[in-house]
Amino acid sequence: MIDTRPTRNLALELVRVTEAAALGAGRFMGRGDKIAADRAAVNGMRLVLNSIQMDGVIVIGEGEKDEAPMLYNGEKLGTGDPPLVDIAVDPIDGTRPLALGLQNSITTVALAPRGTMFNPGPYVYMKKIAVGPQARDVIDIRASITDNLHAVAKARGEDVKDLTVVILDRPRHEDMIAEVRRCGARIRLIPDGDVAGALMTALPDSGIDVLLGIGGTPEGVLAACALRAAGGNIQGLLVARNDEERHRGDEAGIDFHKVLTMDTLVSSEDVFFAATGLTNGDLLRGVDYFAGGAVTDSLVMRGLTGTVRRITSTHRLSKLTQISAIEY
């Protein structure tokens, strides 16, 4: 029998994927063209994914939300050789910040053994709570925000007033923000990009302790891959966007009260994650272009070993364009 487990460190190959996406999309920072930026990221990402020795299927792709012609859910990528893997991609987490030249836009990709990633189908939003290793065993998304913040603070040996909570800046979060403030915790509101927000909870010296709020389910799966590798934790609940979606979910047997644990979102420890910065942010620096080249800043993670690498790469674009079908 062929061993299909992805035991080699595919994360070191994935960083080439996110670097390619960043080099292409980074050219569109501040140019106000989200579509062109996303196209450049998708093209770069897909080109390199197809060069990796793997039999991959997109589980989390561009298809559900963006109706993309490439990197769609169910697309097969790689050389077709083992290992058999699920793929999750977000070519641009923070399309609007990139288009406007704002902070915290990144590109991300994750792999896990075939059949281990959660497929949200049409339910593209979820309520989330994410934390780092110190508080990984104490969170409960069914409990109140107040109870969770006190539990996290106790696990960290701190007071609630010492915590910093990251939340997407959305009208739907007004009540949540008010409760966090009543508890005395500090808040960092972000315009987009909750993959980075979730990941920062697990990284030392990030200044972020908890992520709360409703964001994308695909981003939740990507965050789960990163947090599993980094030793953190995430829980979620699917959210229906309207009565029609809830009705369809009820008819299909979707339980909107069922907690999506880390094991639900990605059930294998043999997970790989990579992210590269598009614009400067709290997590990563953006692409820095210079005459004839560029510098990228990336994070690379492997779940089996818990290894987190930071990779700064200098790219000679004049050489890359000689061997690449993508214009950087």
193 marked ligand binding residue: yes
Residue ranges of domains in the chain: 10-114+271-321, 125-265
30 marked ligand binding residue: no
Q: Which residues of 106-143 are buried (b: 16+ CB within 10 A; e: fewer)?
A: bbbbbbbbbebbbbbeebbbbbbbbbbbbbbebbebee
175 marked ligand binding residue: no
Domain at 125-265: CATH code: 3.40.190.90
219 marked ligand binding residue: yes
pLDDT band at 5 (very low <50, low <70, confident <90, very high): low
162 marked ligand binding residue: no
Q: Which pLDDT score, from 0 to 100, does residue 66 have?
A: 45
To the nearest whole number, what is the mean pLDDT of the chain?
92
46 marked ligand binding residue: no
C-alpha distances (whole Å) from 142 to each of 138, 318, 321 are: 12, 53, 51
Q: What is the CA radius of gyration of the chain?
A: 19
170 marked ligand binding residue: yes
Q: Which fold has domain 10-114+271-321?
A: Fructose-1,6-Bisphosphatase; Chain A, domain 1 (3.30.540)
125 marked ligand binding residue: yes
C-alpha distances (whole Å) from 91 to each of 73, 152, 250, 291 are: 13, 32, 32, 25
**Two domains, one topology: 10-114+271-321 and 125-265:** no
172 marked ligand binding residue: yes
What are the tens digits of pLDDT across the range 117-170? 999 888 889 999 999 999 999 999 999 999 999 999 999 999 999 999 999 999
pLDDT band at 4 (very low <50, low <70, confident <90, very high): low
DSSP-derived secondary structure for 237-269? EEE-SSHHHHHHHHHTT--TTS-B-HHHHB--S
Q: What predicted TM-score, i.e. pTM, was given to this entire model?
A: 0.92
33 marked ligand binding residue: no
C-alpha distances (whole Å) from 267 to each of 104, 188, 261, 275 are: 28, 30, 9, 21
Q: Give the span between the Cα atoms of 62 and 74, in whole angstroms.
A: 10
192 marked ligand binding residue: yes
What are the tens digits of pLDDT across the range 40-87? 999 999 999 999 999 999 999 975 444 455 788 899 999 999 999 999
Q: Give me the percent of the chain exceeding a pLDDT of 90.
A: 80
